[in-house]
Amino acid sequence: MASLTLKTNTERLLGEITIPGDKSISHRSVMFGSIAYGETRVTNFLPGDDCYSTISCFRKLGVAIEENDNELRIFGNGFEGLTEPDEVLDVGNSGTTIRLLMGILAGRPFFSTLVGDDSIGKRPMTRVTVPLTNMGAKIDGRKNGAYTPVSLRGKQLTPIHYKLPVASAQVKSAILLASLQADGISTIIEPAKTRDHTERMIRKFGGEITRDNQLITVKGGQKLHAATIHVPGDISSAAFFLVAGAVIPNSEIVLKNVGLNPTRTGIIEVMKKMGAELQIVQKDENGFEPFGDLIIKTSALKGTVVEGDLIPKLIDEIPIIALLATQAEGKTIIKDAEELKVKETNRIDTVVQELKKLGAAIEATADGMIIHGKTKLSGGTVSSHGDHRIGMMLAIAALLSNEEVILENPEAISVSYPNFFNHINSLLK
């Protein structure tokens, strides 16, 4: 699909939707099920392109994985059950798949090669390959392993004491997965706390891991055992409808089964700070990942500053927060978000470029953006640039316009939210 004419001129959004499974947790459920012993069962798995890339890679590594209606059965035989692939492992558009998989393959005694799409080919891998090489893995690739294709020949790994140069859950997780295979105790120091799904998974699968403020400690040689995983809804996907409900007039949306991991709820903190009428109801904190239902209503919003330790808790939501800010009174400043430059696109430049096409008063800075509201949005032709979160943000922006909006490359949205447009249509009243 080359382009799509988006829904515009929206009078209200009313109804209830169930948010699809969390992408980060879906990826990790496949990975941990594959390196654990026994049969792991996963419910509410996200049937998105990125997550299918992870399944494909582990099947090529010899793991039996069955899928039936968003439920998985994964038959793992520990790290030792992984076998040398007969072909290249293609991660598609998934940065999570390639970086975490490198952590697993770093300790496996065979050769493998990882590739991805054009976007993956531009994303930096050095932040992962440097610590893994320090642990003993042999890694090579384009520009000395800085970019894909990347080849690994795993070795017996030595423990590492490593201070992360950037606050990145992907980098942290890659090192943790390698450390589980190392001969001794490894420690990782985070500059700011990032999403902790990997640490929770280690415990869920019977492993031990400790945290003391920003210091994480894990022992190598642990055996993981199969678990039953319920994947809560992805708060990064829910964010688009939280913003839509807040900015479209006369709206009220109930979002069911939304993950409420405290390392991921920055979007809720920011929206409440801006004055959003947002309620959390029926919160369940008994599982290994908390979740609950959210209610969002049309809100009178005011500008704010988004910065510091809050950024890792909402890094994927910044594109939709930028749109939210266009409908808030006053100025919103987003800073300390340099990490946006190395996502699926340079999300700072891309968000600014595309929202300007629709009439937003927004400017890029070195580490974020400045948005002036409240602004009436207009029509135009915009592009996802192959980035699912940019595509969804622009689809929500179009709802605010009274003029035609055409989205180029809408297919990118299927990476994380295959039913996104069906859910928009279900709320139009």
Active site residues: 316
Helix (H) or strand (E) holding 279: strand 277-284
316 is in an annotated binding site: yes
Q: How far apart are CA 388 and CA 186, in angstroms?
A: 35
275 is in an annotated binding site: no
347 is in an annotated binding site: yes
Could you give phi then psi for residue 407, rounded to 5 degrees?
-105, 120
Tokens 């493998």 found at: 112
Apex CA 393: angle with CA 392 and CA 394, to 5°? Answer: 90
Nearest CA-CA partner of 161 in 198, 221, 215, 114: 215
282 is in an annotated binding site: no
The answer to whether the beta carbons of residues 415 and 237 sit under 8 Å apart is no
155 is in an annotated binding site: no
Distance of CA 345 to the CA centre of its chain: 14
Q: How far apart are CA 322 and CA 319, in angstroms?
A: 5
163 is in an annotated binding site: no
- DSSP strand pairing (161-163 vs 185-189): parallel
23 is in an annotated binding site: yes
153 is in an annotated binding site: no
Q: What is the CA radius of gyration of the chain?
A: 21
Query: What Cα–Cα distance (Å) separates residue 361 from each residue in 163, 305, 365, 373?
Result: 38, 16, 13, 7
Q: How far apart are CA 9 and CA 160, in angstroms?
A: 55
41 is in an annotated binding site: no
The conformation of residue 176, written as its DSSP 8-state character, comes to: H
Q: How far apart are CA 318 and CA 306, in angstroms?
A: 9
168 is in an annotated binding site: yes
99 is in an annotated binding site: no
Helices (H) and strands (E) in the chain, counts: 14, 23
Nearest CA-CA partner of 82 in 62, 60, 101, 110: 62
Binding residues for 3-phosphoshikimate: 23-24, 28, 168, 170, 316, 343
Binding residues: 23-24, 28, 95, 123, 168, 170, 316, 343, 347, 389
Binding residues for phosphoenolpyruvate: 23, 95, 123, 170, 347, 389
